[in-house]
């Protein structure tokens, strides 16, 4: 490359340290990208790609500095990392090239800006490490300060389940034997990086009680190494590291989260239509994030579940109280993310006012909780920390409706600082003097259009139109000539310019200094702010459960350690919201590990088998989350895992067929379920031949039923009616079917689960309902009759015919009628004649 300018050389040197980032290089009022970054950035942002003047070999693309957030949103959503390189000295004072440094690296997993985040979703970054036979998994939401980790025996399925549950935007890996390659295959849309880790002494206080978790702490240090290197900050919002045991919560794998549509729908991956959509009526961003966490981490300890259920019950029994409490919670802004902004010095004046407003509500919430005299609510109240001193500082210091930008001025209230008040008085008097001076000069010169103006180049000036320039006094000094006017200055005007501009500059500097003092008062309170945020989030979820239960007619379930699931008049929580609630058909369920171990459910497609099985799983999950459930009453024995095998599709990325995917999921269930698990199996074995599929299905049922092998509670839907014979062989297997009303050749699904198996699939009737042509339906009935009678010869001949011959016998039988229709002059028939003609045809067809 030919010799470049000092600035471009500075860019090249900085870029070497940030090869995996787009480098936003501050040049005046723009962020510039050069070389390959310019090409990539211009394409990603759909902006112009040009070249630097005099250096045409160097591609250039740039954005205005004030539009940074807008463009960052687009880049981060596309998975880019962006290094922000600022001018770290005043260009006026710089000797030579202006000093520049990267002040922050923004990545998909570390963003904290509200414009880049969803208020009710966590934005996690995770790190995964391996050590001996164990793996470590650490998790951080940098925007809220939530920081946790776990470790366990190395198990790729377990790691994948954690990734699905927390859905991180970014994954950091300490690469070990191709582990990273496997992750890239499984998570193609997630940013994944492999880095080395280092011990982070600064955070040793977080690790002290966790030294025995070697693999877990390795993952924590790996994550901290990455975050410190990108954020270039003290990370003072990371005050607590939590360990979560893999046995602490119900384990939900990818298939279960997806098939039960817990947080998003299967088809469109949207919140609407999911369980979260039904339950999330939270009033605060923290509550929305907490509720999602609860749904993906159902509890296993009955005591913990009962604590939630009892609190929800108390709130449910006094809805006036709960609605009032919920309204107060709605006045609380996102305390978690405001605390993080304070930590990063990125908090703005409006954020501090929002903080003050939120903290001002806490005493009222606390008093409401204490007045309840309900011990769990009193315990929650005692966790709330009133920060009256911080509220007072913000109240005294920051104006009620400040600008968003810190450097815009007009932030600090009058009376907060004596020196600032004096400067503002001087500036205000200066402006008054200018107005008076302008009036005096008009009188002096006789030029009524004379005006005093200001620009950054010349400062204050007097502008007179060209036609009146002969009237200006001798003490006017010409400064600039315009097309239609002349601009002048006077010594008197320049004296006051120094006073006014000096005061304005000092005001800006002092306001920023005072703002930083107020911000630092909040900085030392970050742990207390985060504690209050956690308490409000929990309270928001509990009150939401109570209000949703009231709106939807849910009941309080009884949760215990027995193996029984007993649901009376259970309903699917999502589907009943999609249709009129009164039209939803409720169903009972009784399951245990003895005489109702496996329920084999038969019946036609579209009749409601899958809906019924999913509703049992969702009611169980909701009960263990601590929510009321859609049923008349319910008794739920705690389950450690819910497994689902529902539907299947080819996994082309790994070269697996539908049947292979199905068998992988079945193997995962049979290898990992326990007697305490709940298993949902829908149409196992349908991806292969009838006899193979039936054999696999029966083998799976017998394995699950055997208490020495598994003995787990299972709902098993199938079209293999031969499996209903297992009820006679095994006392714990019970047959159920979907009730169907059959009239002549028509069927109506009643959506009720009734005892006993079904010996019919009603496949042809369902095909008819779906709109399959009648000629196909008639032929299908003929073939079915032959198969059911055990006569195969005629069917084999019929099936071997060419397609055009398939319906010839039908047409021959009705040839006379067809000719009669062809000859009918329908255009000249009266309505009565047409009706009589159709009636005669009907009689002939019936014969």
**Smallest Cα–Cα separation from 665: which of 653, 689, 638, 683?**
683
pLDDT of residue 116: 81
Q: Kindly report, residue by residue over 57-82, the tens digit of the pLDDT.
A: 789 999 998 888 889 989 988 889 99
Share of the chain above pLDDT 90, in %: 52
Residue 705, φ and ψ in degrees, nearest 5: -70, -35
Q: Kindly report, residue by residue over 98-117, the tens digit of the pLDDT.
A: 899 999 999 999 888 887 88
**pLDDT grade, residue 291 (50/70/90)?**
very high
**Is 578 among the annotated ligand-binding positions?**
no
Stretch among 533-537, 658-662, 763-767 having the lowest mean pLDDT? 763-767
Rounded average pLDDT over 609-637? 96
Q: Is the pLDDT of residue 347 over 70?
A: yes
Q: Look at strands 598-602 and 713-717 and give their pairing.
A: parallel
pLDDT of residue 647: 65
Q: Look at strands 30-34 and 22-27 and give their pairing.
A: antiparallel
Q: Is the pLDDT of residue 201 over 90?
A: no
- At 462 the three-state DSSP class reads strand
Stretch among 186-200, 291-305, 507-521, 708-722 having the lowest mean pLDDT? 186-200
* Exposed/middle/buried for residue 783 (C-beta within 10 Å: 0-12, 13-18, 19+): middle
What are the structure tokens assigned to 670, written together? 């049979």
**pLDDT grade, residue 88 (50/70/90)?**
confident
**pLDDT grade, residue 747 (50/70/90)?**
low
Which range, 237-241, 480-484, 503-507, 613-617, has the best average confidence (pLDDT)? 613-617
- How far, in Å, CA of 175 to CA of 236, rounded? 29
The full set of domains in the chain, from first to last, is 6-106 (3.40.1170.10), 116-246 (3.30.420.110), 280-387+527-551 (1.10.1420.10), 418-519 (1.10.1420.10), 558-761 (3.40.50.300), 767-846 (no CATH)
For 571, residues 6+ apart whose C-beta sits below 8 A from its C-beta are 584, 586, 615, 630, 631
pLDDT of residue 794: 42
**pLDDT grade, residue 364 (50/70/90)?**
very high
Q: Is the pLDDT of residue 582 over 70?
A: no
- How far, in Å, CA of 846 to CA of 7, rounded? 94
pLDDT of residue 648: 53
For 683: left if phi > 0, alpha if psi spans -120 to 50, otherwise beta; the answer is left
pLDDT of residue 580: 65
Higher pLDDT, 650 or 38: 38
pLDDT of residue 759: 61
Stretch among 206-215, 534-543, 622-631, 796-805 having the lowest mean pLDDT? 796-805
pLDDT of residue 473: 94
**pLDDT grade, residue 805 (50/70/90)?**
very low
The answer to whether 545 and 627 have CB atoms below 8 angstroms apart is yes
**Is 604 among the annotated ligand-binding positions?**
yes
Q: Kindly report, residue by residue over 422-467, the tens digit of the pLDDT.
A: 888 887 888 788 899 999 999 999 999 999 999 877 889 999 999 9
- How far, in Å, CA of 698 to CA of 694, rounded? 6
299: which DSSP letter?
Answer: B
Higher pLDDT, 788 or 92: 92
**Is 770 among the annotated ligand-binding positions?**
no
Which range, 225-229, 621-625, 705-709, has the best average confidence (pLDDT)? 621-625
Q: Kindly report, residue by residue over 496-555, the tens digit of the pLDDT.
A: 888 888 888 888 889 999 999 999 999 999 999 999 999 999 999 999 999 999 999 999
How many Å separate Cα 782 from the centre of its chain? Answer: 52
Q: Half-sphere exposure (CA, 13 Å, Cβ side) for 439?
A: 6
Q: Is the pLDDT of residue 799 over 50?
A: no
Q: Kindly report, residue by residue over 813-844, the tens digit of the pLDDT.
A: 677 777 778 777 777 777 777 777 887 877 77
**Is 341 among the annotated ligand-binding positions?**
no
**pLDDT grade, residue 801 (50/70/90)?**
very low
**pLDDT grade, residue 600 (50/70/90)?**
very high
**Is 607 among the annotated ligand-binding positions?**
yes
The answer to whether 558 and 636 have CB atoms below 8 angstroms apart is yes
Question: What are the residues facing 192 on neighbouring strands?
Answer: 171
pLDDT of residue 750: 60
What H or E segment, with its residue span, contains residue 84?
A: strand 82-87
Mean model confidence pLDDT for the chain: 86
The answer to whether 257 and 298 have CB atoms below 8 angstroms apart is no
pLDDT of residue 590: 95
- How far, in Å, CA of 600 to CA of 758, rounded? 10
Q: Is the pLDDT of residue 189 over 70?
A: no
**Is 345 among the annotated ligand-binding positions?**
no
- At 598 the three-state DSSP class reads strand
């Amino acid at each position: 490359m030919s010799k470049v300018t000092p600035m471009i050389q500075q860019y090249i040197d900085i870029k070497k340290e940030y090869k995996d980032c787009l480098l936003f290089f501050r040049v005046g009022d723009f962020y510039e990208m050069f070389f390959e970054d310019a090409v990539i950035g211009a394409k990603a942002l759909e902006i112009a790609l040009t070249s630097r003047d005099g250096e045409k070999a160097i591609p250039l693309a740039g954005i205005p500095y004030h539009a940074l957030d807008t463009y960052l949103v687009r880049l981060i959503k596309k998975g880019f990392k962006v290094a922000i390189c600022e001018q770290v000295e005043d260009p006026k004072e710089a000797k030579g090239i202006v000093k520049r440094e990267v002040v922050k690296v923004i990545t998909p997993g570390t963003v904290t800006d509200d414009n880049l985040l969803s208020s009710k979703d966590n934005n996690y970054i995770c790190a995964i490490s391996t050590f001996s036979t164990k793996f470590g998994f650490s998790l951080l939401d940098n925007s809220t300060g939530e920081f946790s980790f776990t470790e366990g025996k190395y198990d790729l399925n377990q790691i994948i389940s954690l990734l699905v549950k927390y859905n991180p935007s970014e994954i950091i890996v300490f690469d070990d034997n191709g582990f990273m390659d496997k992750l890239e295959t499984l998570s193609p849309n997630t940013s994944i990086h492999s880095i080395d880790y280092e011990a982070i002494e600064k955070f040793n206080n977080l690790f002290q009680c966790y030294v025995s978790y070697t693999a877990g702490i390795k993952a924590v240090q790996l994550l901290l190494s990455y975050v410190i290197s990108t954020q270039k900050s003290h990370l003072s919002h990371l005050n607590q590291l939590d360990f979560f045991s893999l046995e602490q919560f119900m384990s939900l794998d990818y298939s279960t989260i997806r098939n039960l549509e817990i947080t998003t729908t299967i088809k469109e991956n949207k919140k609407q239509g999911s369980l979260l959509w039904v339950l999330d009526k939270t009033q605060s961003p923290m509550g929305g994030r907490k509720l999602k966490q609860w749904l993906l981490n159902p509890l296993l300890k009955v005591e913990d579940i009962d604590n939630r259920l009892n609190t929800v019950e108390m709130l449910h029994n006094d809805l006036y109280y709960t609605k009032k409490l919920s309204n107060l919670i709605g006045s609380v802004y996102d305390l978690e993310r405001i605390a993080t902004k304070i930590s990063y010095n990125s908090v703005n004046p409006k954020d501090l006012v929002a903080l003050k407003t939120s903290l001002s509500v806490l005493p009222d919430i606390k008093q409401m909780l204490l007045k309840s005299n309900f011990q769990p609510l009193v315990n929650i109240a005692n966790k709330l920390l009133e920060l009256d001193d911080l509220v007072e500082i913000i109240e005294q210091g920051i104006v009620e409706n400040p600008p968003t930008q810190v450097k815009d001025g007009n932030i600090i209230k009058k009376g907060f600082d004596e020196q600032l008040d004096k400067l503002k008085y001087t500036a205000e008097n200066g402006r008054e003097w200018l107005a008076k001076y302008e009036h005096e000069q008009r009188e002096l010169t006789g030029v009524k259009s004379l005006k005093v103006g200001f620009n950054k180049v010349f400062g204050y000036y007097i502008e007179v139109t060209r036609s009146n320039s002969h009237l200006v006094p001798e003490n006017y000094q010409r400064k600039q000539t315009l097309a239609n006017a002349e601009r002048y200055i006077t010594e008197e005007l320049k004296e006051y310019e120094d006073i006014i501009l000096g005061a304005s500059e000092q005001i800006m500097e002092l306001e920023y200094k005072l703002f930083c003092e107020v911000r630092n008062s909040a900085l030392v309170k970050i742990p207390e702010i985060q504690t209050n945020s956690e308490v409000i989030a929990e309270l928001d979820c509990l009150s939401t459960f109570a209000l949703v239960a009231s709106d939807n007619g849910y009941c309080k379930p009884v949760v215990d350690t027995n193996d029984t699931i007993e649901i009376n008049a259970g309903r699917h929580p999502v589907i009943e919201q999609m249709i009129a609630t009164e039209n939803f058909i409720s169903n009972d369920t009784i399951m245990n590990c003895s005489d109702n171990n496996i329920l084999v459910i038969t019946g036609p497609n579209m009749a409601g088998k899958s809906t019924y099985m999913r509703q049992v799983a969702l009611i169980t999950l909701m009960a263990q989350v601590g929510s009321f459930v859609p049923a008349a009453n319910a008794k739920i024995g705690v389950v450690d895992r819910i497994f689902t095998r529902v539907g299947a599709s080819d996994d082309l990325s790994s070269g697996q067929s539908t049947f292979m995917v199905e068998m992988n999921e079945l193997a995962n269930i049979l290898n990992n379920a326990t007697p305490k698990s709940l298993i949902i199996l829908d149409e196992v074995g349908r991806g292969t031949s009838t006899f193979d599929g039936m054999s696999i299905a029966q083998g799976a049922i017998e394995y699950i039923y055997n208490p020495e092998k598994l003995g787990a509670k299972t709902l098993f839907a199938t079209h293999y009616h031969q499996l209903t014979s297992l009820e006679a062989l095994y006392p714990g297997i019970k047959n159920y079917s979907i009730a169907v009303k059959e009239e002549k050749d028509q069927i109506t699904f009643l959506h009720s689960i009734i005892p006993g198996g079904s010996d019919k699939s009603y496949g042809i009737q369902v095909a008819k309902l779906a709109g399959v042509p009648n000629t196909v339906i008639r032929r299908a009935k003929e073939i079915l009759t032959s198969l059911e009678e055990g006569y195969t010869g005629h069917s084999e001949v019929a099936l071997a015919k060419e397609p055009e011959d398939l319906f010839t016998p039908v047409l021959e039988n009705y040839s006379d009628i067809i000719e009669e229709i062809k000859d009918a002059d329908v255009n000249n028939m009266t309505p009565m004649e047409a009706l009589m003609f159709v009636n005669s045809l009907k009689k002939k067809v019936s014969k």
